Amino acid sequence: MDRLDNNVRPYAWGSTTAIPRLLGVEPTGEPQAEMWMGAHPGAPSRTPRGPLNEVIEKSPEHELGGRTVARFGPRLPFLLKILAAGAPLSLQVHPDLEQAKEGYADEERRGIPVDAPHRNYKDANHKPELICALTEFDGLCGFRAPVEAADLLAGLGVDSLKPYVDLLHAHPEEAALREVLTAVLSADPEDMAHTVTEAAAACARLGGAYAPYADIAHHYPGDPGVIAAMLLNPVRLQPGEALFLGAGVPHAYLNGLGVEIMANSDNVLRCGLTPKHVDVPELLRIVRFEANDPGVLRPEASPDGEEVYETPIDEFRLSRYVLPEGAAPHDLTRPTPQILLCTAGSVRVGDHLLAPGQSVFVPADEQTEASGIGTLFRATVIA
């Protein structure tokens, strides 16, 4: 197995303190948003044998195992991250696998460069993801019931929001949500900026359930995504709780530190809270206009002490071990590749003693035991 040296991405929304605090190092004063663990070519983890993507390319059957290669091809199917949100991320959705293949093929045919700012599909893969909280973690996930969204908007007392309130009351659920999101994102930018300014002032004055939207508007003044965000369910995760984000589900992370795992893709359709490109017609094709509960996940414990976050996805499987003092070593050997990440305490994995924020890559079928006192996350695949 290999100790990983991981890249930290300095996105503007990142916390300046959360990742340094986890790692036990001094903050630099710059935002540190995501620490990537994996073989994504944009920021592969480094190993003593070279970048992890190159290590896997040289010997995919050995590193990933025959079952993983047969199922997903000669690449690591997942990307693991530590995510530290100090400000809201963009409001976004991800395509399903068929939509991603269609969208990627279409943009390839039209000759749109992969790095073009108006390009939607960087690859032909879907991007389901799971976020597990390490601290209290705030986010938005999935649509509220239209009547609840209508009541929230009506409570602001902003005249220019009344047409949206009426739409939410007057139509069936899917049509109501579709029409309102379309209207918000297609409105005259100057008129919408004025509406958002009024709504933000009302949110700040009212507080309570409106407080998160005042904070969002502070970071993204005049952005139509502030109104779109009010159509979604707010959710607060406690440490150890998680959210699964499937295809077409609008979501945004607002604040907190967590472990995130996703299929190895970079396909994002944005709804707002961003200066980046928003492709409204394509977004509306991808969004699933269904009101539902965010569905907070709690891990299911197995007899050997592994706590698994169950999802309907095979490209990744996230679990954790909470190791108490005096516990016997856990055999972690699997026929699939693994990344093991310590988030608390001190955990020995093979010859490596891991402190919080440290990780290792374990090739398929390599004999592996874990012991110590702390918390160890395990990322692998189902193959």
Cα 158 from Cα 197, distance rounded (Å) = 10
- Give the tokens for residue 170: 């007057």
Cα 186 from Cα 192, distance rounded (Å) = 9
Q: DSSP secondary-structure letter at 156?
A: T
Which of the residues are catalytic?
A: 270
Contact (Cβ atoms closer than 8 angstroms) between residue 319 and residue 307: yes
Cα 167 from Cα 170, distance rounded (Å) = 5
Cα 135 from Cα 130, distance rounded (Å) = 15
Cα 83 from Cα 133, distance rounded (Å) = 9
Four-residue CA torsion sign, 109, 110, 111, 116 = negative
- Give the tokens for residue 36: 């990537």
**Spatial CB neighbours of 204, under 8 Å, sequence gap ≥ 6:** 210, 211, 214
